[in-house]
Amino acid sequence: MTFRLANSKDLPALETMYAKIADNLIKNNIKIYWSAYYPYADFEEFDIKNQNLYVLEENENIIGAFCLTPSHEKANQISWKHQTENAFYISKLGVNIENLKQGVGSKLITHAKQIAKQNGAETLRLFVVDINTPAIKLYEKNGFERASDKTQEYLEFYDVTLTEFGYEFKL
C-alpha cells in the first residue's frame, strides 16, 4: 500500500469511489447527503491544487482518501477540549466500498496523524454527522474524543438540518 498526494489523473477513480460510497450510505440509510457531487466537486479546484488530498493505493487502485487542512470553517463553533492554534482537520475521509472492514480507515487516520504532526499540529480534529455510526466507531476506535457540543447546518436543497459532532485527537 502506498500513500501519496492526489493528482488530476486520479479524478475519474475518485469520482467513481465517492459515488459508490454515497450509494452505499443511502443503501444503509445513513443520510449524510454525500453524492457524486459532494465531496468530489472540490477535489480538483481546491484539494488537489492546494495539496490537501491524500490517496491510499494498492495494486494501482485507490482504496481510500482523505483531505487534511490547517483550518476548518466550522472550527470556532466547537468548544474543543484541547485548546490550541496548531490543529489540523481531516475531512472527506472515504474508503472504497470493496475494501470495507479491512483496516483501510484506520490506515488513513494513522497517516493523517503522521502528516499533521510533521506539520506542527498538536491536535487532529474532524466533524462527523451524528447518524454516521460506522464513521463514529472508526474515529473512537482510533482514539478520537467527542467534543461537548455540536454544529448544525441547514441544507436548503434537501430541506434538512445536519447535526455534526466535533472529534479531536491529541497528537
And the C-alpha cell for 107?
490506515
Helix 133-141 / helix 104-118 crossing angle, nearest 10 deg: 60
Residue bearing the bigger pLDDT, 68 or 34? 68
| 40 pLDDT more than 90 | no
Q: Count of domains in the chain?
A: 1
Q: Strand 87-95 and strand 123-129: pairing?
A: parallel
Q: Burial code of 114-146, b = ≥16 C-beta within 10 A, e = fewer?
A: ebbeeeebebbbbbbbeebebbbebbeebebee
CATH of the domain at 60: 3.40.630.30
State pLDDT tens for residues 70-79. 999 999 999 9
| 147 pLDDT more than 80 | yes
> What residue numbers bound the domain in which 164 lies?
2-170
Distance CA 46, CA 152 (A): 24
